[in-house]
Amino acid sequence: MQRAQFKIDVQSDDPIWTQARQELWRRVEQHDFEPDTPLNFTRRLARDHGWSLEDARAAVDAYRRFCFLAVVSPTPVTPSEVVDEVWHQHLIYSRDYWVIWCGETLQARLHHDPTPGGPEAQLIYRRQYAETLALHERAFGPPSPELWPATHLRFARPRYHITDRSRWLVMPRPIAWIRSRFRR
């Protein structure tokens, strides 16, 4: 698969939305993350993360944009934590991910490589994340800060942790919970 016609440079004045990129984005938008099943991809994402269905749909939309950017970017891109959670779930839907999403929709292989860890990797991912935010802004406008926090916040500390809720009581931080309820 040749991807050269898709490349977007963050600093370039070249037009973002070429015909080939428009066709790619059309395919990305049309991918069905909510097939008519009781526990489809988006509902499972909401259930597993304690998100509302609306928040899960927003996360899936952010994931769509990220994957588009991953295909068109000349350099590696780094997801937000929310987008990374969606990506992790999509990977377990392996047939949909590899055959339909990568094979037919993106028409490119999109591998998820874990960090090797350490301060050098941290610097690389911070830089890549900042470049991803800039590329997002160039292609789609400013990203939502709820889904794409600023670089210094994204890399302050891990925000997500897998917890067995049958053994632990998990309570929202009062201010964050109040803000999430009244932000609309």
* pLDDT at position 2: 36
Radius of gyration of the chain (CA): 17
Tell me which residues of the chain have a pLDDT lower than 50. 1-6
pLDDT of residue 114: 87
Compute CA distances 144 → 69, 104, 133, 137, whole Å.
16, 28, 10, 10
pLDDT at site 171: 73
pLDDT at residue number 183:
60
pLDDT attached to residue 27:
98
In this predicted structure, what is the pLDDT of residue 119?
87
Q: What is the pLDDT of residue 3?
A: 40
Task: Give dist(CA 79, CA 110) in Å, integer.
Answer: 13
- pTM for this model (two decimals): 0.83
Q: Helices (DSSP H) in the chain: which residue ranges?
A: 19-30, 41-49, 53-72, 81-92, 94, 119-140, 151-154, 174-182
The per-residue pLDDT for 4 is 39
CB-CB contact of 135 with 73 (8 Å):
yes
